[in-house]
Structure 1
Amino acid sequence: MVEIHPFKRLRAWTLLAARDQGQLISVTCDYCRVTHRYLATDLIELCGNVTLDKVLRRFRCEKCGKKNYLNMTLHVPHGSEFGELPVRRLREVRTTRIPVWSDDVLR
């Protein structure tokens, strides 16, 4: 069987398809060796229904702050992992209001 490069598979797979298959999105920083797993429904709320290669562009490692060393894989949890596998959940989305000023003359 022909092996498909994992990045090409991420380009064709969307977050809705991952949610329907029950897959977790696992993001690993190869620089500081930290792995976090996310539910696809939380990422849909944050990014919309986009392909998985576009989701990876929005991430940055919280420990080292680098984007170049991130790697994404899909993880299908087994029955023994339920109740023990750590998963990051989206609690809330905060938006910041930043004022933009311009100098003008009083009229």
Structure 2
Amino acid sequence: MPAISYRGRAHPYLENKIPTLDDADGLGQFVRAGCGRCKTIRFHRPAEIRELIGQNIHILHLQGRFRCDQCGAKEYMTVEFKTLLAREIPGLVVRELVEVQWVKKPLWRDRRL
């Protein structure tokens, strides 16, 4: 896994060698997101993550985009591509993207007349 101080800047040649979401989807891999604080592990399909984010990014840029559902922590999340064996797939719980809901939130300003 990358160092915590990694900011996503590398030489373009090295940056192109890092696997992206499309690469992982083509290989049949899953995105494994785990929380180091509450030990929660979730599996996602890379194509659905790409649909949600809207761009084909590599695994190191996914690190800061996940938040734990139980404790709400973002800094303890680890994200990696995981290849599973055929005997591990039956019974595996995979999160599916059902729909994306946009929250409409009004912003108010007080103005003196």
Establish whether TM, by shorter chain, passes 0.5.
yes
Equivalent AA in structure 1 for residue 87 of structure 2: S
Task: Give aligned pairs, total.
Answer: 100
Choose which of 98, 104, 107 in structure 2 pairs with 1:100. Answer: 107
More deviation in 31-40 or 97-106?
97-106
Choose which of 4, 7, 22 in structure 1 pairs with 2:2. Answer: 7
Task: Please report the TM-score for the alignment, with normalisation by the length of structure 1.
Answer: 0.79
Any residues of structure 2 matched to 1:65-84 within 5 Å, and which?
65-84=72-91
- Judge conservation of contact 1:42–1:90 (CA < 8 Å) in 2: yes
Q: Partner of 1:74: helix, strand, or coil?
A: strand
Task: Structure 2: give runs of 5+ residues left out of the alignment.
Answer: 4-14
Residue in 1 that maps onto 2:31: 25
Structure 2 CA distance for partners of 1:104 and 1:54, relative to 1, 3 Å: same
Residue in 2 that maps onto 1:41: 47
- Judge conservation of contact 2:29–2:84 (CA < 8 Å) in 1: yes
When Rg is computed on C-alpha atoms for both structures, the one with the higher figure is 1
- Judge conservation of contact 1:47–1:55 (CA < 8 Å) in 2: no
Identity of aligned residues (%): 30
More helix by share: 1
How far, CA to CA, are the matches of 1:81 and 1:70 in structure 2? 23
Query: Alignment RMSD, CA only?
Result: 2.3
Task: Structure 1: give runs of 5+ residues left out of the alignment.
Answer: 1-5
